[in-house]
Amino acid sequence: MTRIATLMYVNEGSYEEYKRRHDTLWPEMKQLLKDSGVYDYSIFLNEENGELFAVLHVKDKKIYDNIAQDPVCQKWWEYMADIMQVNEDNSPKAIELKEMFYLK
C-alpha cells in the first residue's frame, strides 16, 4: 500500500462546479480508479486560493501510474480542463508531496 498526496488547482469561481462534477463522478471513472487499486481517496479545497489537496491510497503504485494512459481518464481530464489548471494534455497541474510525518 502506498499513500499519495498531491496539490492541484481549481479555477476561482469554479469551486461549486468542481464539487458537483465529483459528486456525480462517472461510474466508469470510479471503476477505473478501483481497478487501478485506488481506495480511500479524498480531495480538500482551500477556498482562499483554489488549491486542492488530494490524498489517496493505492495497492500498487506501478499499476496506478498507468491510469493516465486509459481513455476514460483522458476523457475525464478533458471534461475537467475548463475549471482547473491543466497541462497541454489536459492532465491536472499537480505537485506530488513528500510525506514528512504519519501517525498511525
Indicate the Cα dihedral angle 58, 74, 94, 16, nearest 10°: -100
22 belongs to the catalytic site: yes
Question: In what side-by-side order are the strands of the sheet with 2-9?
Answer: 38-46, 51-58, 2-9, 95-96
Given the residues 22, 30, 61, 93, the one annotated as active site: 22
On the question of pLDDT at 74 being above 90, the answer is yes
- Reported as type and span, the H/E element at residue 20 is helix 15-23
N residues, the chain? 104
On the question of pLDDT at 104 being above 90, the answer is no
> pLDDT by residue (tens digit) across 34-62?
999 999 999 999 999 999 999 999 999 99
> pLDDT by residue (tens digit) across 6-33?
999 999 999 999 999 999 999 999 999 9
User: Given this structure, which CATH class describes domain 2-96?
Assistant: alpha beta
Across the range 72-87, mean pLDDT stands at 98
For the chain, the structural domain boundaries read 2-96
Q: 68: which residues sit within 8 A by CB, 6+ positions away?
A: 74, 91
